[in-house]
A and B are shown apart, each in its own frame.
Chain A
Amino acid sequence: MDAVTLLTVVVLAVFVGFEVVSKVTSKLHTPLMSGANAIHGIILVGAVIVAGQADDPWLLAVALLAVVLATVNLVGGFVVTDRMLEMFGPRKTARPGGSAGAGTGRTEEEGQ
């Protein structure tokens, strides 16, 4: 792809990236960081490509290491983000304000 097209893609992606997170509440900073972190695990696609083209055992070994690391980033990132968000479920928002912590411990069991 030519340089101008790539530049166009980058510039648009920068603006989208700025725009989507600009209004996030501070309550969700940790899951958002974790979710964004999972997304860059997509480097797995790159690692798979280089591993698929490696013609030397040493290069292949390094490429497979990259595949393992990228998978940890991608899979672990999405799983852990989901686990955090599980606890922000709608059950709790529905509960009336006065009864702080009623049913403590219940979600933990349900959530596991």
Chain B
Amino acid sequence: MSILAPAWTALFYLVAAVCFILALKGLSSPRTARRGNAIGAAGAAVAVVTVFLSARLENIPLILAAIAVGTALAVPVARRVQMTQMPQLVALFNGVGGGAAALVAVLELGHSGDSWVRLAVVFTMLVGAVSFAGSAVTVGKLQELISTRPLLFPGMPAVMVLVLAGALTAGGFVVLTGSAGWAGALLVLGLAAGLLLVLPVGGADVPIVISLLNAFTGLAVAASGIVLGNVLLLVAGTLVGASGTILTKVMASAMGRGVAGIMFGAFRGGSTAGSTTLSDRPVRSSSAEDVAVQLGYAQRVVIVPGYGLAVAQGQHTVAELATALTARGVDVVFAIHPVAGRMPGHMNVLLAEANVPYESLRELEEVNPEFANTDIALVVGANDVVNPAAKSSPGSPIYGMPILEVVQAQQVVFLKRSMRPGFAGIENELLHDPKTTLLFGDAKDSLSKVLGAVKIL
């Protein structure tokens, strides 16, 4: 249908673009975030209705059916997913977006006579394919379907160089000739590049990669805007590309890493693997009752929640324990590492779900000076974010990451499932420290036992 005149079409796309800007702006503050997201969704709805009313389209029933299928697939998953699995889902949604952009570009190749436009086609295909394959690997790593340790094989850097050179060659032929065969080769090489780029990334750095691939998909969408001559795609994609890049940098610096170091660190070799053998040195383990006594008679307790807490769905129990301790006059705060959980800000989402008030959450810079006058640091299912190796051993994959300095506290209690190392795959010296005690078990079970024991003190 072509009900809308081009000027109105452009105007509605402008409305949608402004909605997206307001959405990103709103998402930057807790007060306005939800409204911001709703504005973004409204903008998207305006844009989709506009395209149906303005472009000359065939196959409308089939297109509407495809949209219905996509909605039917996405909504139940988005509504039911556990908060702990949020990073996987974001990565998944990002990957399919990248895939869609690559497919759109492939299909437009036949319509693009101009070699500048074909350059945009090549860019969209390559970046979209990298984002799709890379996101698939991050989902695999986060679901632990594949190893969270950096995966490397001998000669990998050389293979990567060959793949990139091949992709550039194929891309060059596509620009010059518009050949579908070369376009197919480009797509395959793009997928290979995505795999090779993300496989060597260690588990601890996966969140940064998700954010980076998010920015990549944004750029692919922006380039598809040039391919289709659609300003909305260009603006929306560029917005996401730019904001995603900034967000990636902010997160990387919260982890004390450079983005380039994360992406290519494993290629430079040596440093990230190794040092993972479990030592059989003794640790001091304890009972729930002893931990309850330690906590119940402390003046000040800092709880450090980690991903293990989330996996065990223990966020509600830990909130109850904090309440019980507060009722006994113990000063309780939660120390939130910026990358606690599996994604920056993930732990804030999980604790918000359990109704822990903002006021008792402390960020890293705020809480670190307070550990020295803390009686007990209770580390629940966290490991890498308190690992002193980040400060003391330059060879370690987490070296340079700011940590919560629980080692400064009078005593440290770890609730852990096993001696298994954290997501980064390295051992934690702190577990063998004389002031550390461990309570083994599922985080939720241990917390329930400790909570029960605190209540009868």
Q: Answer yes or no: A14 CB below 8 A from chain B CBs.
A: yes
Contact between chains at A22 and B97 (CB < 8 Å) = no
Contact between chains at A84 and B24 (CB < 8 Å) = no
Q: Answer yes or no: B169 CB below 8 A from chain A CBs.
A: no
List the one stretch of B39-47, B155-163, B263-271, B275-283 in contact with chain A. B39-47
Contact between chains at A20 and B326 (CB < 8 Å) = no
Chain B, range 233-251, C-beta contacts under 8 Å to A? 233-247, 250-251
Residues of B within 8 A of A51 (CB): 57, 59, 62-63, 66
Contact between chains at A30 and B346 (CB < 8 Å) = yes
Closest to A94 in B: B357
Contact between chains at A104 and B319 (CB < 8 Å) = yes
Residues of A within 8 A of B357 (CB): 92-93, 95-97, 99-101
Q: Answer yes or no: A4 CB below 8 A from chain B CBs.
A: no
B: number of interface residues (CB 8 Å): 125
Contact between chains at B44 and A74 (CB < 8 Å) = yes
Q: Answer yes or no: B181 CB below 8 A from chain A CBs.
A: no
Contact between chains at B40 and A69 (CB < 8 Å) = no
The CA-CA distance from A24 to B111 in the complex, in Å, is: 41
A residues at B contact (CB < 8 Å): 1, 3, 6, 9-10, 13-18, 20-55, 59-60, 62-90, 92-93, 95-108, 111
Beyond the given A64-B62, A68-B66, please list 20 additional residue pairs across the A-B interface where CB-CB is below 8 A: A9-B238, A13-B238, A31-B349, A39-B44, A39-B236, A39-B240, A40-B97, A41-B93, A44-B44, A51-B63, A54-B58, A64-B66, A70-B97, A70-B100, A73-B74, A73-B100, A78-B41, A92-B357, A97-B359, A100-B319
Pick 12 A–B contacts, CB within 8 A, sort by A: A1-B229, A24-B247, A27-B361, A33-B211, A37-B214, A38-B40, A39-B40, A46-B221, A55-B58, A71-B66, A80-B81, A83-B78
B residues at A contact (CB < 8 Å): 16, 20-21, 23-25, 27-31, 33-34, 36-38, 40-41, 44, 47-48, 51-52, 55-60, 62-63, 66-67, 69-71, 73-75, 77-79, 81, 83, 86-87, 89-90, 93-94, 96-97, 99-101, 103-104, 106-108, 111, 116, 210-211, 214, 217-218, 220-222, 224-247, 250-251, 254, 316, 318-320, 322-323, 326, 332, 334, 336, 338, 343-346, 348-349, 352-361, 363
